[in-house]
A and B are shown apart, each in its own frame.
Chain A
């Protein structure tokens, strides 16, 4: 088998068998080099591909579960993305893996030091834009006036006023979104070691995502959860807090 499917890198100098926990029940084991090891299973020299969603899902789940098994057994791990396969055409693939560990040794050691004792959490904050819009109309005199006008005007004129209101509202919502982003970011950052800003995800109306973060935090740290609770308790905001993940976003 000319490929080695890579799950993660850990600190260990031993050749360890983790069992048949890998993708498709493959035997997972470590390839050590000077105190670092790659966690792998033997595979053929081509990627795992399928048109079947369910199959890919099961592979991805197995990928993650193997990393978590290694995490429990070996301590801090540097996870790799799905389907990272080291290939060797002429050489023994085990040798190529060792050669890679040697080549990237400093960098890998540095990364392990960076994430030791830490975990990753996903934080997504959304708002209910209907509630926010309602509050904005209450607080803003111009919006309030327009809103009132619409009720009293005949159909045609009311439509034009409505257009104007909507345009104004969009501008104000954008400003509010930015304001909240900055405020929440400022409050969340000190609860973490590091934060990465991720792309927003589309949600069903009236929910809209304001921010999507990956946070690197000490293992037993509670302060992030506490801060997020405060935000989640506010009527118009919803916090999704997932994890702990292996530090995918920080390697």
Chain B
């Protein structure tokens, strides 16, 4: 079977629209004006361009029972963050974590979840927890104002994790995040030592 590629025809134009509005490399929102697909174009205009409605869930029939919906979950690309028993989410916030593993270094973006047990960073499209640390293991928090490569100032959060490790984070609303983290740490009885971070060498 040969693939259809006269994509200027109506049918394949729809396939193209699906790709250019929702997909492609994701860039840090700091430096771009617009993110393709988000309200600029307008959902209704996009639907009009597509010429047909997009059904929003797997399953063609409206009344899907709960069992089928659960089975559907394994095939859906959007997967929920896996929580432990008794774990509750206190805060969800978009941000990035600086991952460094010898040669490979990168900022990984996703959603931070602050729970009653831990802090984790979850990347939904690959359904993976990219970073996590139990609240008790965070021994110090420090914020540093740093210049990002765009020339603008960014708040970078440094978390001391035990004796030698330091995690570097950036979130959308730094103050709200820190406050929540401190509140939760108070609840679990963790002790924060602002001085410790000076002693640590930052990776």
Query: Which chain A residues have a beta carbon within 8 Å of chain B's beta carbons?
Result: 3, 6, 9, 45-47, 49, 51, 53, 56-57, 60-61, 63-64, 78-91, 96, 99-100, 102-104, 106-108, 111, 121-122, 170, 173-174, 177-178, 181, 185, 196-203, 208-210, 225-226, 228-229, 232, 239-245, 248-249, 251
Residues of A close to B43: CB separation below 8 A:
none
Q: A122, B15: Cβ atoms under 8 Å?
A: yes
Query: Which chain B residues have a beta carbon within 8 Å of chain A's beta carbons?
Result: 1-5, 7-8, 11-25, 27-28, 31-37, 40-41, 45, 48-49, 52-61, 63-64, 68, 71, 75-77, 104-107, 149-151
Q: B40, A81: Cβ atoms under 8 Å?
A: no
Q: A232-B1, A239-B1, A241-B2 are in contact. Are A84 and B35 (CB under 8 A)?
A: yes
From B22, B28, B35, B106, contact of A106 by CB (8 A) = B106
Interface class of chain A by DSSP: mixed
Q: A181, B75: Cβ atoms under 8 Å?
A: yes
Q: B34, A83: Cβ atoms under 8 Å?
A: yes
**Least Cβ–Cβ distance between A83 and chain B, in angstroms:** 5
Q: A201, B55: Cβ atoms under 8 Å?
A: yes
Q: Which 6 A-B pairs have the closest CB atoms?
A: A81-B36, A81-B24, A47-B34, A229-B1, A248-B23, A99-B149
Q: In chain B, what residue has the closest Cβ to A182?
A: B75
Cα A232 to Cα B57 in complex, Å, equals 24
**Least Cβ–Cβ distance between A221 and chain B, in angstroms:** 11
Residues of A close to B150: CB separation below 8 A:
88, 91, 96, 99
Residues of B close to A199: CB separation below 8 A:
54-58
Q: B60, A102: Cβ atoms under 8 Å?
A: no
Q: A83, B15: Cβ atoms under 8 Å?
A: no
